Chains A and B, each alone.
Chain A
Amino acid sequence: GAGVSQSPRYKVAKRGQDVALRCDPISGHVSLFWYQQALGQGPEFLTYFQNEAQLDKSGLPSDRFFAERPEGSVSTLKIQRTQQEDSAVYLCAGQGKHDYEQYFGPGTRLTVT
């Protein structure tokens, strides 16, 4: 596709459930970032991949959060035992090898009830 896609666009989870959020970046984008955007806030960095290698996960808020990109393209952000404070929009962004611009997907809005 021409842009970054994310699925699902909306997810409602009961507290304690596990969720998996998918990001499909632009073909050829080596770098992939995940951000969390709480209501009324700017996006905050979660984790970063270069190809399949997770080079920075310093922004993950707890060990309930896990991300992977096994083949260096599609990435999945998994949240185990969701809590209400996990409710947010999760944004994925890709970046080309010689590019300084990050291309964002539409995000997944997660609501934990």
Chain B
Amino acid sequence: AQSVTQPDIHITVSEGASLELRCNYSYGATPYLFWYVQSPGQGLQLLLKYFSGDTLVQGIKGFEAEFKRSQSSFNLRKPSVHWSDAAEYFCAVGAGGANNLFFGTGTRLTVIP
């Protein structure tokens, strides 16, 4: 069965510091992996996605993620966090095509000045 684990419920970082949000997945085939961001009262916005090819993917807002098959991980990184990055971040896995996504429980990011 597909599942996603985001081990960190809440992370606090200082503005300008680097960030890494962890995501581990369980999936029996080649996964399609996604990171979404959700601000309060807003829907989910796609940050980046991995389907195949280069395991380091670049996304919007300066985010990147690296797919590591051997570790079943897809961690999200940003070299320098901005106050506007404070939000909830969700990792998701899917089968590709028109298939539903399985989401982790999310990591809430707080940015302090």
User: How far in angstroms is the closest Cβ of chain A from B65?
Assistant: 15
Chain B residues near A59: list those with CB within 8 A: 100
- Minimum C-beta distance from B54 to chain A (A): 16
Q: Which of A40, A45, A48, A91 contacts B44 (CB 8 A)?
A: A91
Query: Could you tell me the distance between the alpha carbons of A89 and B62 in the complex, rounded to whole angstroms?
Result: 28
B4 nearest in chain A by CB position:
A42
On chain A, which size bracket covers the interface?
20 to 34
Total residues of chain B contacting the partner, CB 8 A? 25
- Nearest-neighbour CB distance to chain A for B96, whole angstroms, equals 6
CB of A31, distance to nearest CB on chain B (Å): 4
Determine the main DSSP class of B at the interface with A: strand
User: Which residue of B45, B97, B101, B105 contacts A41 across the interface (Cβ within 8 Å)?
Assistant: B105
Please, how many angstroms separate the alpha-carbon atoms of A56 and B95 in the complex? 14
Verify if A71 is at the interface (C-beta below 8 Å from B).
no
B60 to chain A, nearest CB (A): 12
Please name 12 pairs of A and B residues whose Cβ atoms are closer than 8 Å in the assembled complex, sorted by A: A31-B98, A35-B103, A40-B105, A40-B106, A42-B106, A50-B98, A91-B44, A95-B98, A100-B32, A100-B96, A101-B49, A106-B42
B residues near A (Cβ < 8 Å) are 4, 32, 34, 36, 41-46, 49, 51, 90, 92, 94, 96-98, 100-106
Closest 7 CB pairs of A and B: A42-B103, A45-B100, A104-B43, A104-B44, A31-B98, A106-B43, A43-B103
